[in-house]
Amino acid sequence: MKYLFTFILFIPFYLLAQETDQFNLNFEQRKTEDPLTDGWGKWGTHNVTLEEEAHSGKYAAKVSTGEDGSAFGSMYYRIPAKYEGKQIQLQGFMKIKDVSEGSFAGLLLRIDGVGGSLAFDNMQSKQINGTKDWARYSITLDYPEGAKVIIVAGIMVGKGEAWFDDFILTIDGQDVQTMKKTVRVYPAEKDKEFDGGSNINLSDLDGIQQQNLVILGKIWGLLKYHHPKIAKGELNWDYELFRILPDYVKIRNNSVRDKFLLNWINELGRVRSCKTCKPVAEHAFLKPDHEWISNSGFNQRLTKQLLYIQENRHQGEHYYIDAALNVLNPVFKNESNYGQMSYPDDAFRLLAVYRYWNMIHYYFPYKHLMDKDWNTTLPEYIPAIISAGNELEYEKVMTRMIGDIQDSHANLWGGADKLKEWKGGNYPAFHLRFVEDQLAVVDYYNEDLKSETGLEIGDVIVSVDGRGIDDIIKEKTPLYPSSNKDGLLRNMCNDFLRSKNKNITIEIKRNGKILEKEIPLFPRKELNKYNWYPKSEEASFRMLDGNIGYITLQTISELDLFTIKRKFKKAKGIVIDIRNYPKTFVPFSLGGMFVPYSSPFVKFTRMNPDLPGEFTFSQSLEISPLKVLYEGPVVILVNEYTQSQAEYTTMAFQAGVNTTVIGSTTSGADGNISDISLPGGLRTAISGIGVYYPDGKETQRVGVAIDVEMKPTIKGIKEGKDELLEKAIEIIKEQ
């Protein structure tokens, strides 16, 4: 029995939950009309199509030379790497036709971990070319530790044609189609003590107690992201907070407080000296901010212990934080939103503030660009969140706090039911936009409601129910998070006349006269409403008068690119409209037309998963020229609707040697999004990486660089003109 007992002690602190999956590795599952079958995506510029010339079944995938014969094409399938084993093998059938010398075709197997590829082979060394009938090929690799994603693919580089079918993926000889997943169940996930609520009352706290809560929030966050025991998922750190809160809030003496906190930390267990922890890089763009430890007036023992834990922090896989594959924006894991509590109790509301503050403090790449010192937010929001008397007030407080980071990717994107109800469900029949600093009617959602509403395109609204526009803007601003003023007004326009009422009284200015109007409001479902710009079914490209090509990224597709490159090659100029969100990712596949040589256009700041708070610059990313080059003038149109991928795409096109950007301040929210869950079922997000021009010039908050500043006018709106497009045509004709 002694030996049995010892064996049980060494069973890991997780269970193996077993699941099975069915992956579409033979191309036969097809529920949509997408170019490839379910789950398959495309890489490269070659043609990638679905063919009925299969090895077995109905379908096979085919890669054939596109316009750029020196490039490549590939179809790929991603499989979560939730398996254990030592060796991984990909088998598949391939046939090729006229694959030229120096070109090759092959299977591709790649295993990615945090930050990039851990193992890779694309059979390039075998140089499979010429013409060959269907044959089985295989790749075998060591299955690496830290695997996150397995990528199965077929690839052809250069000129020719290649067909792929019937892939089989095995780990240690077992087919992943039937192999059992291994899913960790951490001790933290077994802690259910407070699932029904904390029963903690934090009301009527005085200034000393609230200041102690500020200190606790910072220490709780430092331990969450640095202490090895928490990082390993051995503790539900939310509930550990609740366990100490009742005793902690009673403390009113600094000496007693410090002793209490030190005992709490010591009870977590010894933190061993870290031999692999590196100091903050001298070249780091953002460095961890731990000045609060030395400036909080802690006793020497507590200060020393906190600094020691920071210096000997956990390394490697972390229960609460990860980095997205390749991009390295933060992934906030295992954060329950406690959605069963629509209005969470005092302790859960406090948790929302603690959780969000520390996520921003350690993992927001633009913390240095806030107007507000982030260290001042805990003293402000702790009393505000405790005194939030209902669900609506809770949502308002969290929206205000989210707005303080000044990021248009950040808002309450989910769970804000009471806030939506408070704003009302009725809207005007027309779209509003700030034009020449005036709130103007620019479009009707439903043209047949124009006569009933009585407003004309170009009318300017000067008051709403007797209140001036500036007063309304001031009142609404805290509830409309945004990176800059242009984005704020853009977001606010959607709700400016929103109401619970079915009618609203406004004053408008028309032809110099002030008129009072009572206008009807309608439920959203009765309107063809859009938030920023209308949906479009128009072709993504057309030729304008004067042999000028026009492209809108709102509807562009991969298939359009082949025609665009051929049709616009001899155009006098090209206008690219990015006053929208691109339907397809085209920075390289289209931007490569405009660069005669490899050209840097962007660099990033990324978090260090092993050193919370550190962000360093990457090398600049370059665009390589395509075989089809366009050397004429290219004019890019942007405005406040140009956000995120649209801004990134604009930067890519700016690498062109003859590119001009005209328009107004863009959204200033660039970088891959990181989602955040908060108690009460709330969901928000942040820009997770820093995006900069190669010279270090910022894009966050300020938007992309603009060569010709220009905005629409009220006169132009009335006349139905697209003044930016007219200016773009003028610029092209002058060259």
All domains in the chain, ordered by first residue: 16-184 (2.60.120.260), 189-419 (no CATH), 427-526 (2.30.42.10), 541-734 (3.90.226.10)
pLDDT score of 69: 54
DSSP string, 235-291: S-HHHHHHHHHHHHTT---HHHHHHHHHHHHHTT---PPPSSPPPPPTT-SB----H
521-533 residue pLDDT tens: 999 999 999 999 9
Q: Are 429 and 520 in contact (CB under 8 A)?
A: yes
- Average pLDDT on 35-53 reads 84
Confidence (pLDDT) at 735: 87
**Percent of all residues in the chain with a pLDDT value above 70, rounded to a whole number:** 96
State which amino acid sits at residue 115.
Answer: G
Q: What's the pLDDT at 405?
A: 98
pTM of structure: 0.84
Weakest mean pLDDT among 60-74, 266-280, 698-712:
60-74
Residues in contact with 95: Cβ distance below 8 Å, sequence separation at least 6, in sequence order: 55, 132, 133, 134, 135, 162, 163
- Give Cα separations from 191 to 235, 237, 238, 341, 568 (angstroms): 8, 10, 10, 18, 62
Whether residue 621 has pLDDT greater than 80: yes
pLDDT at 34 over 90: no
Report pLDDT digits (tens) over 574-617: 999 999 999 999 999 999 999 999 999 999 999 999 999 999 99
Cα 171 to Cα 150, 168, 347: the distances in Å are 11, 10, 46
With beta carbons less than 8 A apart as the criterion, state whether 63 and 105 touch.
yes
Q: Cβ distance 668 to 483 under 8 Å?
A: yes
What amino acid occupies position 305?
Answer: Q
Q: Centre a 10 Å sphere on the Cβ of residue 545 and count the other Cβ atoms it contains.
A: 6
End-to-end CA distance of the chain: 90
φ, ψ of residue 240 in degrees (nearest 5): -65, -35
Give, in order, the Cα–Cα distances in Å from 52 to each of 39, 56, 107, 226, 724: 18, 9, 20, 54, 47
Whole-number pLDDT of residue 117: 78
pLDDT greater than 60 at residue 13:
no
Could you tell me the sign of the dihedral formed by the alpha carbons of 623, 625, 628, 633, in that order?
positive
* β-bridge partners, 637: 577, 662
**DSSP of 278-347, one letter per residue?**
PPPPTT-SB----HHHHHTT--HHHHHHHHHHHHT---S--SSEEE-TTT--EEE-S----TT-SS--HH
Q: Is the dihedral of CA 607, 611, 617, 618 positive or negative?
A: negative
For residue 134, pLDDT over 50 is answered with: yes
Question: Which of the pair, 535 or 545, is modelled with greater confidence?
Answer: 545
What is the residue type of 364?
F
Q: What are the pLDDT digits (tens) for 157-186?
A: 989 999 999 999 999 999 999 888 776 789
> Quick one: which H or E segment has residue 101?
none
CA 405 vs CA 165, 370, 380, 734: distances in Å: 49, 6, 14, 43
Q: Give the distance, in angstroms, between the CA of residue 544 and the centroid of all CA atoms in the same chain.
A: 35
Flag whether pLDDT at 709 surpasses 50: yes
In terms of Cβ atoms closer than 10 Å to its own Cβ (0-12, 13-18, 19+), residue 646 is buried
Instruction: Average the pLDDT over 186-197 and give the result.
Output: 94
Q: What is the mean pLDDT of the chain?
A: 92
Per-residue pLDDT tens digits for 427-462: 999 999 999 999 999 999 999 999 999 999 999 999
Confidence of residue 20 (pLDDT cuts 50, 70, 90): very low
> What is the CB neighbour count within 10 angstroms for residue 53?
11
Per-residue pLDDT at 15: 32
Q: Which residues of 101-114 are buried (b: 16+ CB within 10 A; e: fewer)?
A: eebbbbbbbbbbbb
DSSP 698: B
The predicted model gives 291-311 an average pLDDT of 95
Q: Which two tokens stand for residue 427?
A: 């809207």
- Both tokens assigned to 599: 């050209």
Give residue 17's pLDDT: 35
CA R_g for the chain: 29
Torsion sign over Cα 328, 329, 330, 336:
negative
If pLDDT is split at 50, 70 and 90, which confidence band does 70 have? low
Q: What angle do CA 558, 114, 18 make, to 5 degrees?
A: 95
Say whether pLDDT at 340 is over 90. Answer: no
Residue 637: closest CA among 662, 612, 671? 662
Instruction: Let me know how many helices (H) and strands (E) the chain has, helices first.
Output: 19, 35
Question: CA torsion angle for 254, 257, 262, 265 (degrees, to 10)?
Answer: -140
- 3-state secondary structure (DSSP) of residue 210: helix
Beta bridge partners of residue 74, listed in sequence order: 43, 155
Residue scoring higher pLDDT (6 or 315): 315
Query: Would you tell me the crossing angle of helices 207-226 and 237-248 to the nearest 10 degrees?
Result: 150
Q: Choose between 713 and 9: higher pLDDT.
A: 713
C-beta pairs of 379-387 under 8 Å, 24+ apart in sequence: 379/210, 379/211, 379/214, 381/353, 381/357, 382/210, 382/213, 382/214, 382/217, 382/350, 382/353, 383/205, 383/210, 385/349, 385/350, 385/352, 385/353, 386/202, 386/203, 386/205, 386/346, 386/349, 386/350, 387/203
pLDDT at 21 over 90: no
pLDDT over 70 (residue 7): no
Indicate the SS3 state at residue 125.
Answer: helix
